[in-house]
Structure 1
Amino acid sequence: MASKFSRLALAGGVALAGMAAFSVPGTAHHSTAMFEWGKEVQLSNATVRKWEWTNPHTFLFVTTIGKDGKEERWAFEGMSPNHLSRAGWSKRSLKPGDKVDLTYYALRDPRKGGFNVMVKKADGTELKQLPSR
C-alpha cells in the first residue's frame, strides 16, 4: 500500500511540476510590453519583402531606403490569422514587391519594427488590425 501511495504522490508531483513549467512561457508569450502601445508611428514607401500568415501571430517584413540611401529592413508583428481573417485579411493580402505605407506601434528598443496597426496598399486599400481603427 505504501509503495502505491508513493507512486501516486510522485506522479502527482511530476504532473504539477510539468504544469508549472509550461504555464510560465504561455503567459509570457502574450505580453505587449515590448511595444510603445498607443503611440502610432508612420512608415512610408515600404516594399513588402515577406508576409507570414502563421499562428500565433502574423509577421510582415518590409524594406525601405534610409536617408543615407541604404536599404533598411523592418519587421512587424501582427494579430493571428484567425483575427485578421475576420477583419478581411488573407494570406494573399500582401505579396513580395507590394508598395505599402504602415502605421505601427514601435518597439521600445532601437530595432526597426513594431506592432503592425494598419497597412495602406498602393491602390488605397487599408488593411486594419485593430477594431478601433
Structure 2
Amino acid sequence: MSGKISRRKTMIGAALAAGAVLAVGAPLAAHHSTAMFEWGKEKPMPNAVVDRWEWTNPHTFLYVKVKEKDGQEHVWALEGMSPNHLQRYGWSRTSLKPGEKINLTYYPLRDKRRGGFNVTVTKGDGTKLNQFGERGSSQ
C-alpha cells in the first residue's frame, strides 16, 4: 500500500513541477523580441507631426505623420518602452500631443515598412525625451 502512496506523491509532485514551469514559461514566451528592428542603427526623422501617442502596456506607441520624398504625407508607427520604464526617464501620458511638431530618432524595421522603435524625441521647445539613458531635459 505504501508503494502506491509513494508513487502517487511522486506523480502529484511531477505534475505540480510541470505546472510551475508552464506558468513561469508562458509569460516569457508571450513577450516578443526586438529582432524586427535594426537595433543600434539609429536614423533621424526630422519634422514629424504627432498623430497620436498611446501610453499603453506592455509598450507605448507613437504614430507620426511625415512628408516623404514622394510629396505624400505618410503615417509611421513607432514602438517604445513601457510606461513604467518611460516614467523614470521623464515621459508621461501627456508628453506628446496630436499636431505637435517633433524631431525624433528611431531604429527602423528590418522589412522597411513605415515604422520602427522610437529612441529619442526632441520637442519644439528643445525638450529632449530619451527611451533609455539620459533623463528628459531642456536644451
Q: Same fold by TM-score, threshold 0.5 exceeded?
A: yes
Deviates more, 1:14-23 or 1:111-120: 14-23
Consecutive unaligned residues of structure 2, counting only runs of 5 or more, are none
Partners of 2:78 and 2:118 in 1: how far apart? 5
Q: Which amino acid aligns with 1:82?
A: N
- Structure 2: distance between partners of 1:33 and 1:61: 21
Higher strand share: 1
Shift of 1:27: 3.4
Query: Is the counterpart of residue 65 in structure 1 residue 67 in structure 2?
Result: yes
Q: Give the match for residue 96 of structure 2.
A: 94
SS in 2 for 1:82: helix
Q: TM-score, normalised by structure 2?
A: 0.79
Runs in 1 of length 4+ with deviation above 6 angstroms? none
List alignment gaps of at least 5 residues for structure 1. Answer: none
Distance 1:101 1:113 in 2: 15
Aligned to 1:122: 124
Query: What CA deviation, in whole Å up to 9, does each residue of 1:69-114 have, x standing for no partner?
Result: 2121101111111111111111010011010111011111121111
Paired position in structure 1 for 2:83: 81
Distance 1:9 1:102, change over 3 A: same
The alignment yields a C-alpha RMSD, in angstroms, of: 2.7
Count of aligned positions:
133
Corresponding letter in the other structure for 2:117: F
Could you say if the C-alpha distance between residues 132 and 95 of structure 1 is closer, same or farther in structure 2, counting changes exceeding 3 Å?
closer
The residue matched to 2:90 in structure 1 has which SS? coil
TM, length-normalised to structure 1? 0.82
Specify the alignment match of 1:27 in structure 2.
Answer: 29
Compute the displacement of 1:65 (Å): 1.2
Please give the secondary structure, in 1, of the residue aligned with 2:85: helix
AA matched with 1:38? G
| C-alpha displacement of 1:23 | 2.1
- Larger Rg over CA atoms: 2
Question: What is the alpha-carbon distance in structure 1 between the residues aligned to residue 114 and residue 84 of structure 2?
Answer: 26
Give 1:56 deviation, angstroms: 1.2
